[in-house]
């Protein structure tokens, strides 16, 4: 293999070359680093470089996992890794390197992935665009003026630009699916508790948030889920069992599915024409593949759920900042934070525990409504976003009033938070690009615990309408 072809392969493909000894892990890593060095000044996707550490790993005994020797990047939220800081784009968090790998990071490494850095995020992953005072904006490889989405924006940019075939991401309101949508990638948010937060946490944002990756191929996502899923003793609760390997599962077609699709936002407001087009196209593609497709939406009460969601996020943020303050001995100061973060922190501190439980109650009630919906439908298809990727600078992140700061964001991200609320799995697929050449994703939502159906469907759609060779010019 000439290294020029690096980006013609997905992670499984690269690992296959390593297994056949056509290329060495260190050669792959050097190529990835060369690409990072060439592209990162434009993209600002990578915010911490761990090149030397990664080179040591690549030269040593590489774990013989399914991703043996594949270069990888970790998001600057979670995926705590020895020798790397995790700052969540927050100036208040010291740039101290961690002294341990969390279980997820260990499992990535055991699968053969070689992490060589941390990727850009918005502060605490709060917003669907990757723009922070600490790191500056990540730029969309499809058009550098546009946002990568967030919060896993740096990871999505690095994958879309061909620096790595897949990268760690996590999702507490859409943060895997949104950047996957903006950057033309596969982004699966797994079921609540499918991936452990051990040993540092039992749950994150009350079970709203979960980790996985963004990738270019469905099989990479399936294989990485096989590699990292599963509880460890001491986890507070679990997801339903998987029912077998996802990587093997996607080799078989899904059964004939009943697919519901939404052509409007949950509050009845119209979608942007590009998003509507993306949904209709995806619905037609499903129908062409023999699935039963009809228009329907679950009766999720957004008006109730958004304040509940904000109460949970606000109090989690208050808890996080207070914990950091306790550890560093520094008092939080508005100057250390983005305005939007500070406003949510202040609001979060005022949330009473009783209000918190009420919010959680609403959230759990929504889970039952969704479960009822899925007695009829196997899958729910919607736009991932309410509009195509916005330009950088579109949102006022200095605004401290949460009502003002979040309203435009919610309008932009009208669907994805619902699956964090219900705990269901959901996947963004890159099935549409608009006239301006920007990716416009759709998301498929599955039953609680049923990533398998989503991945099988995704693999069938990928085969029917492949996207792998569709690359931004910057990646050429």
Q: Catalytic site residues?
A: 75, 151, 175
Q: Compute the least distance from the CB of residue 127 to another protein, in Å.
A: 21
Of 27-35, 290-298, 365-373, 465-473, the window that binds another protein (rule: CB under 8 A) is 365-373
181, 272 contact by CB (below 8 A)? no
C-alpha dist (Å) from residue 271 to 387, 440, 445: 7, 12, 18
| Coil, helix or strand at residue 27 | helix
For another protein (CB under 8 A), the number of binding residues is 54
244, 272 contact by CB (below 8 A)? no
What interhelical angle do 402-412 and 339-350 show, nearest 10?
110
Q: Is 407 in the site for another protein (CB under 8 A)?
A: no
Among 145, 330, 334, 361, binds another protein (CB under 8 A): 361
Q: Compute the least distance from the CB of residue 308 to another protein, in Å.
A: 12
Q: Is 125 in the site for another protein (CB under 8 A)?
A: no
Q: Is 167 in the site for another protein (CB under 8 A)?
A: no
Distance (Å, whole) CA 55 – CA 135: 25
Q: Is 449 in the site for another protein (CB under 8 A)?
A: yes
Q: Is 201 in the site for another protein (CB under 8 A)?
A: yes
- Residues 6 or more apart whose CB falls under 8 angstroms from that of 378 comprise 257, 258, 259, 446, 447, 453
Output 339 or 367, the one with its CB closest to another protein: 367
**What are 245's two structure tokens?**
């390997």
**What are 89's two structure tokens?**
């784009």
Among 367, 394, 401, 465, binds another protein (CB under 8 A): 367
Distance (Å, whole) CA 169 – CA 187: 9
φ, ψ of residue 135 in degrees (nearest 5): -110, -15
Q: Is 210 in the site for another protein (CB under 8 A)?
A: no
Among 51, 238, 307, 434, binds another protein (CB under 8 A): 238
Among 329, 331, 353, 476, binds another protein (CB under 8 A): 353
Q: Is 365 in the site for another protein (CB under 8 A)?
A: yes
- Please identify which residue in the block is written with the tokens 């600002």: 44
Of 10-18, 49-57, 276-284, 346-354, the window that binds another protein (rule: CB under 8 A) is 346-354
Of 44-52, 135-143, 197-205, 270-278, the window that binds another protein (rule: CB under 8 A) is 197-205
Q: Is 244 in the site for another protein (CB under 8 A)?
A: no
Of 114-122, 124-132, 136-144, 239-247, the window that binds another protein (rule: CB under 8 A) is 239-247
Of 20-28, 132-140, 195-203, 209-217, the window that binds another protein (rule: CB under 8 A) is 195-203
Output 155 or 420, the one with its CB closest to another protein: 420
The residues that bridge with 295 in the sheet, in sequence order, are: 261
**What are 276's two structure tokens?**
């509507």
Q: Is 299 in the site for another protein (CB under 8 A)?
A: no
Distance (Å, whole) CA 113 – CA 167: 10
- Residues 6 or more apart whose CB falls under 8 angstroms from that of 277 comprise 432, 434, 440
Distance (Å, whole) CA 468 – CA 431: 11
Q: Compute the least distance from the CB of residue 406 to another protein, in Å.
A: 18
Q: Is 418 in the site for another protein (CB under 8 A)?
A: no
361, 438 contact by CB (below 8 A)? no
Q: Is 206 in the site for another protein (CB under 8 A)?
A: yes
Output 15 or 93, the one with its CB closest to another protein: 93
92, 336 contact by CB (below 8 A)? yes
Among 339, 349, 399, 408, binds another protein (CB under 8 A): 349
83-122 residues near another protein, rule: CB under 8 A: none
Q: Compute the least distance from the CB of residue 77 to another protein, in Å.
A: 17
The residues that bridge with 306 in the sheet, in sequence order, are: none
Among 299, 330, 364, 403, binds another protein (CB under 8 A): 364
Distance (Å, whole) CA 216 – CA 405: 32
The number of C-alpha atoms within 13 Å of 334 and in the hemisphere containing its C-beta is: 9
Among 272, 448, 468, 475, binds another protein (CB under 8 A): 448
Distance (Å, whole) CA 177 – CA 173: 9
Q: Compute the least distance from the CB of residue 101 to another protein, in Å.
A: 16
Q: Is 281 in the site for another protein (CB under 8 A)?
A: no
- Relative to beta strand 186-189, strand 210-215 is antiparallel
Distance (Å, whole) CA 417 – CA 172: 7
Q: Is 372 in the site for another protein (CB under 8 A)?
A: yes
Q: How many CB atoms lie within 10 A of CB 387?
A: 17
Q: Is 306 in the site for another protein (CB under 8 A)?
A: no
Give the footprint of another protein on this chain (CB under 8 A).
192-193, 198-199, 201-203, 206-207, 231-241, 311, 314-316, 318-319, 322-323, 348-358, 360-361, 363-365, 367-368, 370-372, 374, 423, 447-449
């Amino acid at each position: 293999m000439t290294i020029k072809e690096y980006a013609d392969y997905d992670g499984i493909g690269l690992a296959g070359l390593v297994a056949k000894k056509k290329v060495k892990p260190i050669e792959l890593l050097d190529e990835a680093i060369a690409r990072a060095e060439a592209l990162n000044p434009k993209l600002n996707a990578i915010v911490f470089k761990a090149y030397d550490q990664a080179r040591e790993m690549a030269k040593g005994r590489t774990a013989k996992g399914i991703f043996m020797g594949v270069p990888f990047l970790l998001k600057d939220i979670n995926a705590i890794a020895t020798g790397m800081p995790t700052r969540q784009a927050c100036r208040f968090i010291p740039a101290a390197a961690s002294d341990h790998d969390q279980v997820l990071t260990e499992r990535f490494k055991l699968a053969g992935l070689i992490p060589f850095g941390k990727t850009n995020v918005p502060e605490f992953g709060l917003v669907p665009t990757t723009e922070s005072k600490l790191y500056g904006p990540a730029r969309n490889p499809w058009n550098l003026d546009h946002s990568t989405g967030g919060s896993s924006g740096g990871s999505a940019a690095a994958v879309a630009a061909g620096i790595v075939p897949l990268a760690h991401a996590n999702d507490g309101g859409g943060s895997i699916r949104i950047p996957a949508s903006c950057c033309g990638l596969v982004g699966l948010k797994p079921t609540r508790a499918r991936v452990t937060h051990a040993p540092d946490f039992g749950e994150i944002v009350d079970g709203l948030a979960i980790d996985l990756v963004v990738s270019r191929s469905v099989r990479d996502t399936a294989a990485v889920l096989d590699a990292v899923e599963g509880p460890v003793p001491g986890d507070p609760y679990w997801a339903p069992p998987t029912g077998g390997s996802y990587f093997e599962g996607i080799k078989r077609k899904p059964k004939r599915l009943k697919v519901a699709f939404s052509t409007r936002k949950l509050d009845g407001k119209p979608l942007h024409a590009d998003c509507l087009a993306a949904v209709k196209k995806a619905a037609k593609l499903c129908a062409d593949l023999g699935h039963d497709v009809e228009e329907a939406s679950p009766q999720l009460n957004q008006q109730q759920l958004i304040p509940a969601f904000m109460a949970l996020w606000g109090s989690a943020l208050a808890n996080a900042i207070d914990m950091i303050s306790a550890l560093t001995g520094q008092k939080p100061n508005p100057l250390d934070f983005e305005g939007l973060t500070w406003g949510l922190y202040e609001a979060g501190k005022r949330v009473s525990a009783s209000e918190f439980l009420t919010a959680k109650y609403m959230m759990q009630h929504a889970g039952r409504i969704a479960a009822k919906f899925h007695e009829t439908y196997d899958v729910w298809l919607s736009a991932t976003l309410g509009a195509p990727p916005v330009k950088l600078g579109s949102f006022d992140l200095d605004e401290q009033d949460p009502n003002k700061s979040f309203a435009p964001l919610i309008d932009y991200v009208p669907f994805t938070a619902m699956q964090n609320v219900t705990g269901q799995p959901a996947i963004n697929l890159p099935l549409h690009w608009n006239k301006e050449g920007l990716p416009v994703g759709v998301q498929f939502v599955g039953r609680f615990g049923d990533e398998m159906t989503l991945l099988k469907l995704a693999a069938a759609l990928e085969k029917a309408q492949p996207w792998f060779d569709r690359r931004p010019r910057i990646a050429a």
